[in-house]
Amino acid sequence: MSDCTRSCMQQSAIKSYDVRGIVGKDFIEQDTYFFVRALLDFLQKNNHDPIQKIIIGYDHRATSKTIEQFVVQACVDFGVHNLFVLCVPTPVLQFAMHQGFADVGIMITASHNPLHYNGLKLWYKTQSLQGSALQSIWQSMQSQQYRLPVLQRVACLQSTDFIMQAYYNFLDKQFSMLHNMQYSVLCMVSGGPVQSLLEWCIQHFAWQHVDIVGCKNNRECIVFNPDPTSLETQTFIKDVLSNKTYDCVLAFDGDADRFVLYTSQGKILSGDEVGFLFVQYMGGVSAVMDIKTSGGLVHVLQEKGVQVILAPTGCADIKKAIYEHNAQFGCEVSGHYFFKEHHFIDDGLYAALSFLQCAVQAGCLHDVCAALPPLHDSVEMRLPLGTAFDRDLVVNYLHDTVCKQYGEDINLIDGIRYHTEIGWLMMRASKTEPVLSLRYGVFDVHYKAEWVKIVKECIQPFIVQAVIEKYEW
């Protein structure tokens, strides 16, 4: 039939945890209509309960509103007429799913990726759809022909006020100590929809010294890079701090499932450092931390009697380990945090408010950060390297050669991580970008030069010198 067509979405857009790619290259906006039709067919086929309610969230990217229209039309054409559509951070949609407000959740976002990217994060009930399920949906979509979608005004959109009110009530209950907080805080929102939630916090908690930067008045344009650790964001924050004093900076990624803490001097505290502070204030918990976590922090926590479980990098793997070990908390170096009382949803705003509440309880925000032990760790280095095969080859080389000479405590759950009496080293292939992730540290600064020499010898056969020299060793 001439009015039928197939999707042009490339398989490269199907990632481990979501659908994500460059709009116009990996997929076009219309392709999301076909993918959601295939998604709903897949869910209906594999589950007994009928799909009756769907929540659709979207961020402020230029392509998000158009994609939202195609997603809504796909749901209507499938036969679902109870639709809740709202511009929200991803964690609010996850919260709504855990409250049982819908059967399916669809979030339109590319998180921290550049602005020409977009994608879909998907849930059935409280479970995220990932990996093989996403591949099956894509393959089903490729085998189908669908009528070209005709975007129409949809009359079945429901009020979403109750979703936001439930989330705000939850924040009010969890963070009662933040009323009239006196800390001076700068919030970088990267133009994402978390801005409206922060504005609610400022008004509701009566904060007098909290500023928000990142979104123009029309809310249509993201001002800064959606990655809160990007050089652009770091430079902007340092410029602001050179002219005005803040106790800290809270920087959120594009869909606010992640937050990054900057000190008053503009120094980034990595997610394992902030996680260490959370564990300190929780007291006596077991914690899941990702494979990139500082060996020094792991050692200190274990000395304090905390059970530390290292897990592969990735929210799904962290949550899996949390449930397997009945842990109370989880975190990633990148800035994802998972709290038991919040269904282990990685909610950047919730984590940021938790940090501020720790500071209020301590009486001094700077004292909270001062609880960090002295560390001699590198930043996470992201080293560009061709194909996934090339990246795996380097990791295998590290295992076959260097570990036999230096390794004493080897962990192979995600790439390779090993400890010696001198220090520790981690290398893994990224699941979302064509890079090798490398991080290392020493337990005594006197051994740093020796350990850096060992690390450089590992990677120099594969990484160009200019990339190596880009980082401070």
Count of alpha carbons within 13 Å of 214, Cβ hemisphere only? 31
Which residue out of 2, 7, 16, 111 is catalytically annotated?
Answer: 111
Q: What is the DSSP letter of 386?
A: S
Do 296 and 375 contact (CB within 8 A), yes or no? yes
Residue that is written with structure tokens 């192979």 in the block = 412
Going from the C-alpha of 230 to that of each of 50, 235, 435, the distances in angstroms are: 43, 9, 16
How far, in Å, are 24, 291, 321 from residue 314 at the CA level? 27, 10, 11
Look up residue 183 and give its two tokens.
């800390």
Contact 408, 420 (CB under 8 A): yes
How many angstroms separate the CA atoms of 28 and 34, rounded?
11
Task: Give the three-class secondary structure for 243.
Answer: coil
DSSP H helices in 287-438? 295-303, 315-325, 348-362, 365-370, 388-397, 403-406
Helix H or strand E encompassing 66: helix 64-78
DSSP secondary structure, 25-64, as one string: TTB-TTHHHHHHHHHHHHHHHH-SS---EEEEEE-S-TTH
Tokens describing residue 68: 């939202």
- Helix, strand or coil for residue 265? coil
Q: Is 184 a catalytic residue?
A: no
Q: Can you tell me which residue has the tokens 């059970």?
A: 307
Distance CA 317, CA 289 (A): 10
Active-site residue set: 111
